[in-house]
Amino acid sequence: MTAMTRSFITIIALLIALTTMPSHAQEMTKAEIAGIRAAYSAAKEQIERNSHAQEQNVPRSDMEIVSHYVVPGCGPTEEVIRYYFTLGEDPVLGTPVYNTYFITRSYNVAARKFYQEFLFDGPECELLFFYQRNDALDGGADETRYYYGKSGIHKAIKGTAELDEVFAARTADELKNAFNLLMNKDY
C-alpha cells in the first residue's frame, strides 16, 4: 500500500467518524436538554412556592437588588436582579451556606428592554441554562437560549443573539459571585 493510499484511507475514516459523531452527540444533548427543562420547571415551581411563603408563615428565600444609574450615550438605566436560593451546608466546614438556584435580571439600554434568566444546579451552583429576551433593533423581539451540559452547549436562537454562550456564562459567574459576597460572608 502506498503512502498516498494510506493517507486517503485515513482521511475517509476520519470523515466517517466525524459524520457519525454528531448524531450520537445530538441524542445525548436531547436527553440533557430534557433534564435541564425538568430542572427549570422545578425551579419555577419552587419560586412560585417561595412567593407564597409568608402566607404560610414560612420565611422567604429571595433577594432583589434594584439599581438606577446613567450609561453614557444611553441615558438612565434601571437594573433589577432577583436571586432565588436555598439554605445548604458547606461540605468542608459544616457551616450554613446559601446556594442560588435561579437569577433573573432585567435592565434597559436606552429604550430597549432586556430580560435574562440563569438556572443553576447543585451545591457548586453550576450553570445549566441561560435565557434572554430583548427588544430587537427592527422592532420585534429576540430570544436566546443556551443549555449547558456535559456533552457541550445547545443553542436555540430566535432573531439575533445579543450575547454569545461564553459571555452569558461569564455574566452568570459574576452574578453568582456577587450573591456569594452578599449572602455567604465569613465573619
* Segment 121-174, tens digit of pLDDT: 987 899 999 999 999 988 899 999 999 988 889 999 999 999 999 999 999 999
More confident residue, 20 or 58: 58
Cα distance from N-terminal residue to C-terminal residue, the chain: 72
E strand or H helix that includes residue 176: helix 165-183
Is the model's pLDDT at 7 over the cut of 80?
Answer: no
> Which cell is 88 given?
445548604
pLDDT score recorded for residue 28:
47
- DSSP assignment of 77-125 equals EEEEEEEEEEEEE-TTT--EEEEEEEEEEEEEETTEEEEEEEEEETTTT
* Segment 25-75, tens digit of pLDDT: 444 478 889 999 999 999 999 999 999 988 988 889 999 999 999 999 999
pLDDT score recorded for residue 139:
86
pLDDT score recorded for residue 142:
96
pLDDT score recorded for residue 64:
97
pLDDT average, residue stretch 99-126: 94
CA distance 105 to 79: 7
pTM of the model: 0.82
Among 11-20, 71-80, 106-115, the range scoring the smallest mean pLDDT is 11-20
More confident residue, 55 or 6: 55
